[in-house]
Amino acid sequence: MRPSQLMKRTPLSLALCTLFAGTTQAADFKLGIEVPRLDVAEYHRPYVAAWIERDDRSVAANLAVWYQLKRANAPASAQMPAAGGAAPAGAAEGGTKWLPDMRQWWRRTGRELTMPADGISSATRAAGVHELNFSSGKAPFPDLAPGQYKLMVEAAREEGGRELIEIPFTWPAAKAEQLKAQGSRELGALSLAIKP
């Protein structure tokens, strides 16, 4: 375990807790991910993953992964969880097959997860803006040690492309913050609202 993870309550966060005493101690982390509407001949909803990276690119938190959880007409055994993105025998063409296409997510954390991942994975989503709300200390959002982080969002689409966008942020935030980034094709607007 990294030393920084051991010091969950540093003087700075203590000070903040004191400052906001009487309100709540859990900071809010609100994410808006836009799945763009694409005018293409063959459209499949994108696989999308969101996670938080430390400065050294290690993963501080796995927030979400949207993929094809169930495959139409697949046998029940094909829906069983498995490590390394594995689909059990006879189900090699299941929804986990395309998880490695989210290359950075796969490299940094995906390949170590057992899918489906409790509280993280869910089905692919339609075009539109999807809001995800997290509070610090409440799974899957950990008590982050104070420092610099990056929110990473990666999308990969069958018959389409791949896109990775990031929003750097400081934790904990001194005041409420609204951060934004814009995808160019596979992702639309990305927003991050942090409330101390």
Binding interface with another protein (CB under 8 A):
82-89, 91-92, 96-97, 99-100, 103-104, 106-107, 111-112, 164
Nearer to another protein, 88 or 140 (CB): 88
Q: Can you tell me the distance from the alpha carbon of 43 to that of 68, in angstroms, rounded to the nearest whole number?
A: 14
Q: Which two tokens stand for residue 35?
A: 């799945």
3-class state of residue 149 by DSSP: strand
Whether the Cβ atoms of residue 164 and residue 188 lie closer than 8 Å to each other: no
Nearer to another protein, 82 or 127 (CB): 82
What is the smallest separation between the CB atom of 73 and another protein, expressed in angstroms?
18
Residue 119 DSSP code: T
Residue 89 contacts by C-beta under 8 Å, 6 or more apart in sequence? 77
2 vs 105, 106, 113, 145, 180, CA distance in Å? 21, 22, 20, 10, 29
Nearer to another protein, 10 or 104 (CB): 104
What is the smallest separation between the CB atom of 97 and another protein, expressed in angstroms?
6
Q: Which two tokens stand for residue 63?
A: 């927030």
Nearer to another protein, 4 or 104 (CB): 104
What is the smallest separation between the CB atom of 6 and another protein, expressed in angstroms?
25
Nearer to another protein, 37 or 111 (CB): 111
What is the smallest separation between the CB atom of 143 and another protein, expressed in angstroms?
26
**Chain-centre distance of CA 55, in angstroms?**
17
Q: Cβ atoms within 10 A of the Cβ of 187, count?
A: 22
What is the smallest separation between the CB atom of 21 and another protein, expressed in angstroms?
43
What is the smallest separation between the CB atom of 181 and another protein, expressed in angstroms?
17
88 vs 28, 36, 116, 126, 176, CA distance in Å? 38, 32, 13, 27, 45
Nearer to another protein, 83 or 139 (CB): 83
Whether the Cβ atoms of residue 153 and residue 164 lie closer than 8 Å to each other: yes
